[in-house]
Amino acid sequence: MGERTPNVRDGDLAETLGYLAEVIASRRDADPSESYTAKLLQGGEDERLKKVVEEATEVALASKDHDHDHIRYEAADLLYHLLVVLDAEGVSLAELAGELDSRH
């Protein structure tokens, strides 16, 4: 569990996720010793998936405690690790949005 982020302000989720997806894509060929994202992308599938499960569990535990700030913090970690997995598997945010849109 990480340290909670102080003074968080509301943002635009679509803009933030789009920017984060671009940053993740830009790290595909970066030096893994200098970039955690590159380490995840160039590392094994099991490590990437383990992080998604770990972060999802932490969201669930924070939710169980009804700890608003902790839920937000862990959800951000989960979204980041999920975006890394999506990038590694070639699933774009546009595809993901299309999938979600088709469900309603």
Task: Return the closest-CA partner of residue 36 out of 45, 27, 46, 44.
Answer: 27
| Domains by residue range for the chain, with CATH | 14-101 (1.10.287.1080)
Predicted TM-score (pTM) of the model is 0.91
At residue 13, the pLDDT reads 93
In order along its 104 residues, the chain shows pLDDT tens digits of 566 778 888 999 999 999 999 999 999 999 999 999 999 999 999 999 999 999 999 999 999 999 999 999 999 999 999 999 999 999 999 999 999 999 98
What sign results for the dihedral spanned by CA atoms 76, 20, 90, 103? Answer: positive
